[in-house]
Amino acid sequence: MLEMSDIRKVYRTGLVETHALEGLSLTVDGGEFVSIMGPSGSGKTTFLNIAGLLDVFDGGTYRLNGRDVSRLSDREMSEIRNRNVGFIFQSFNLIPDLDVFDNVDVPLRYRGLGASDRKARIEKAVAMVGLSSRLHHLPSQLSGGQQQRVAIARVLAAEPKLILADEPTGNLDSLMAREIMDLLDDINKQGTTIVMVTHSPDCAARASREIHLLDGKVVEIERPPALVGANRER
């Protein structure tokens, strides 16, 4: 699914160089649920941006779904990103003047899907996150946890093979965070690959693997002991 080898990324501002990633190598197999942890400045966000084809890198190779994406044009990267990758962010990024249906509909319109296909996808995705009764509510009429569910429904409607989540529970209380993690776990069990950046040890422990970054490199990979047996049964 996702294979990076010796990825390097340098940000340059005037005469100052910041090495965000220095030889990062990791592999995520299809169907995995992987958490990425590390202190601020460890390269987590840079990794996520490169993984989602939102940013380019300076060295190394990256294969996504078996395809080398190291030297693609902006248009080619955009096409792969729109069809294969879904993003969930800490901020819900919902449009305040649009109801749940229309918020989920926006990215589908950009893909040029027909009205009946979009409607079916939206209703299915919203049902998956348990918000069918809120289909015509505005974001301001929803709790934080419900807004994050709408953001997840927006991703699910596009049917991506890979979901990249950046602190998806960061703005939620502990109860809502558990509900969102339960939902992500259910999505993963249906076959979608999830890579999640988080600062929360509790959320990270829900994944099948924890990958720790430091100074732009992988320093540790571990499987939470409580989940090792459960993952073997999948």
Angle between helices 144-157 and 174-189 (to 10 degrees): 20
Taken in order 209, 212, 213, 217, the sign of the CA dihedral is negative
Domains of the chain from N-terminus onward: 30-55+74-232 (3.40.50.300)
- Sequence-distant (6+) residues with CB within 8 A of 211 are 26, 34, 35, 36, 37, 218, 220, 221
**Cβ atoms of residues 28 and 201 within 8 Å:** no
The pLDDT tens digits along the chain (234 residues) read 899 999 999 998 888 888 999 999 999 999 999 999 999 889 999 999 999 999 999 999 999 998 999 888 889 998 888 889 999 988 888 999 999 999 999 989 888 789 999 999 999 999 999 999 999 999 999 999 999 999 999 999 999 999 999 999 988 888 889 999 999 999 999 999 999 999 899 999 999 999 999 999 998 777 655 544 444 444
Report pLDDT for 234: 44
**Dihedral (C-alpha) 127, 194, 32, 44: value to the nearest 10 degrees?**
-160
In this prediction the pTM is 0.88
One-letter amino acid identity for 168?
P
> Rounded to a whole number, what is the distance in angstroms from the first to the last CA of the chain?
18
Please give the order of strands across the beta sheet that includes 2-13. Answer: 16-28, 2-13, 59-64, 67-68
pLDDT at position 61: 95
What is residue 109's predicted lDDT score, i.e. its pLDDT?
87
CA 139/CA 147 separation, integer angstroms: 6
